[in-house]
Amino acid sequence: MTRIWEFSDNKAIPSDLVREQDFILKLRRMQRLGTPHFVVNLILNSIESLAKNQKALEAVESRLKEFARVTNGTYADMSNGDAFIVWEETADAQNLIDSLIKVMLPEGHGAEEIQNFLLVYHLPVDYTKLRERANHYIEVVRAVNALPTAVTPGDALKSEAARGPLTPWTTDQVGRLVSSIDLKPYTRSQPIYRLGENGKFEPVREEHFVSFDDLRRERFPKIEIVTPEHLFLALCEIIDQRLLHSLTENPSSLAGRHVNLNISVAAVMSAAFAQFVLNMPVAKRANIAFEIHRGDLLQDFVRTLGAFEVIRKEGFKIAVDGITPDIIPYMNLGAFDADFIKINVARERAALLKDATIREALAKLPVEKLIFFRCDSEAALQAGRECGVTLFQGWHIDDKLNGPALHHPVAD
């Protein structure tokens, strides 16, 4: 499946250097003068509500330019639609930035989203970092201008134009690439284990997924695929549907196995899912659990519940995926009609499980449904045992049973 973006490609594929060169000249003058400034880089195309709506993007740009004018700032737009705003340094800088965010996203935002669309630099201290950021826009323009008109997605994704976080253009190029290649070399599986009363682990299910690490390393090494989150989820949707199509063509690969498959809410409503359902015998559907990421749940709650109903109606199991410990107290996860709830206990998150509020919220969930995944440390495993969890997935357990692996694939 190739996603069709609903705005002009002119914003995604720049064509000139005038704006970028003017901005760099401005930076040089400020550095020579030595007057303290602070500069905000606005990555507008990383905001989902703008990436899909050209009119909304233009309205935001207009508001931002007016805001820069009335606050004595200088607005500098880049060829791909991103922008910089420059102000003289002030003790009120943070309040100015907070006001800027409200102008850009008047309906609000999540605190974790800010780093996806706003970077702040202080001159002269951050001059080198800011020049590197400005040079990034120069490199993108030059790379795109150097591309032949009939460039393939494979070539485009290895060019300088693809360097950096995901954009609508690079996500679309990945979609075109994935639709034309065999994903079998990148398909992996990882067991989900049950910890028995005897202290031994027994594999009871396995997750099938496409290894983003391997696919990225070989096909688009210059892209930072996990940001911004809404484009990462779009990329997951593209790849998950392609994997679903591959499994539909070869249903025997799932015969007699209890399998978890990633799927997006949009994919549940797609022809790929419908074809998969037709090819899967009713009696064997209960062996398959579809994992829906929390990102889908948070973006469109009602639509996600509708997808749950479709999956359940067709006889499959449901897993809510990607739940991090810090959000457990704020979501009534027990209210969902899910067979599994997957808690991300990666090394950097395991310490959160010591928090009393998180432990209390976790204790309210049906323990038989909990899967501690990305269990890559003894601390995460111990926390799970203390909470009564019996289902685990992760490298730490794989290594315990099979010996250390040279490479650990990462599921999306």
- Answer yes or no: do 121 and 208 share one domain: no
pLDDT in tens, 122-138: 999 999 999 988 888 88
377 is a domain residue: yes
Contact residues for 130 (Cβ-Cβ < 8 A; gap 6+): 27, 39, 121, 123
Instruction: Work out the pLDDT band at 404, boundaries 50, 70, 90.
Output: low
Closest listed residue to residue 124, CA positions, set 19, 39, 21, 20: 39
Distances (CA, A) of 293 to 95, 246, 262, 287, 299: 34, 21, 8, 19, 10
Q: Give the residue, 315 or 103, on which the prediction is more confident.
A: 315
Instruction: Flag whether 376 is in a domain.
Output: yes
* 223 pLDDT higher than 70: yes
Q: What pLDDT sits at residue 17?
A: 67
Please tell me whether residues 135 and 201 are part of one structural domain: no
Look at residue 31 and tell me whether its pLDDT is greater than 90: no
Dihedral through CA 313, CA 319, CA 320, CA 321, nearest 10?
-140
> Which of 119-123, 124-128, 144-148, 199-203 bottoms out in mean pLDDT, i.e. has the lowest?
144-148
pLDDT at 16: 56
Instruction: Tell me if 411 is assigned to some domain.
Output: no
Whether residues 130 and 222 fall in one domain: no
The pLDDT value recorded for residue 145 is 67
Residues 316 and 233 in one domain: yes
DSSP assignment of 246-276 equals HHHH-GGGGTT--EEEE--HHHHTSHHHHHH
Point out the domain boundary residue: 145, 160, 195.
Answer: 145
pLDDT value of position 412: 46
Region of residue 61 (left: phi > 0; alpha: psi -120 to 50; beta: else)? alpha
Same domain assignment for residues 207 and 124: no
- CATH number of the domain encompassing residue 220: 3.20.20.450
Report the chain's C-alpha Rg in angstroms: 24
pLDDT band at 149 (very low <50, low <70, confident <90, very high): low
CA distance 160 to 143: 5
Domain count of the chain? Answer: 2
Pick from 126, 145, 164: which residue ends a domain? 145
**Structural domain boundaries enclosing 359:** 182-402
φ, ψ (nearest 5 deg) of residue 390: -120, -10
The confidence score (pLDDT) of residue 117 equals 84
Q: Strands (DSSP E) along 6-127, which ranges?
A: 37-42, 74-77, 83-88, 118-123
In this predicted model, what pLDDT tens digit does every residue of 357-370 receive, in sequence order? 999 999 999 999 99
Q: Is the pLDDT of residue 226 over 90?
A: no
Judge if 208 and 135 occupy the same domain: no
Q: In whole angstroms, what is the distance from residue 287 CA to residue 39 CA? A: 54
Of 365, 371, 364, give the one whose Cα is nearest residue 389: 371
Banded model confidence at residue 310, pLDDT cuts 50, 70, 90: very high
Residues 6+ apart with CB under 8 A from 1: 175, 179, 237, 238, 241, 242, 270, 272
Same domain, yes or no, for 347 and 230? yes
User: What average pLDDT score do residues 336-350 get?
Assistant: 93
218 & 296 share domain: yes
196 shares a domain with 86: no
Residue with tokens 């120069």: 138
Is the pLDDT assigned to residue 379 strictly greater than 60? Answer: yes
CA–CA distance, 265 with 248 (Å, rounded to integer): 18
For the domain that residue 137 is a member of, what is the CATH number?
3.30.70
Q: At what angle do helices 18-33 and 127-146 cross, to 10 degrees?
A: 160
Q: What are phi and psi of 193, to 5 degrees?
A: -105, 150
Give the Å distances, CA to CA, from 319 to 298, 333, 370.
15, 11, 10
Q: Is residue 412 part of a domain?
A: no
The verdict on 139 and 187 lying in the same domain is: no
Beta strands in 44-200 (DSSP E): 74-77, 83-88, 118-123, 164-165, 187-195
pLDDT at 409 over 80: no
pLDDT at 116: 74
Q: Mean pLDDT, the chain, as a whole number?
A: 85
Here the tokens at position 51 are 């990436």
Contacts of 278 (CB under 8 A, 6+ apart): none
Q: What is the 3-state secondary structure (H, E, C) of 276-309?
A: HHHHCCHHHHHHEEEEEEHHHHHHCHHHHHHHHH
95 inside domain = yes
Write down which residue in 120, 145, 170 finishes a domain: 145
This prediction has a pTM of 0.64
Nearest to 42 by CA among 77, 69, 5: 77
Region 265-283 average pLDDT? 89
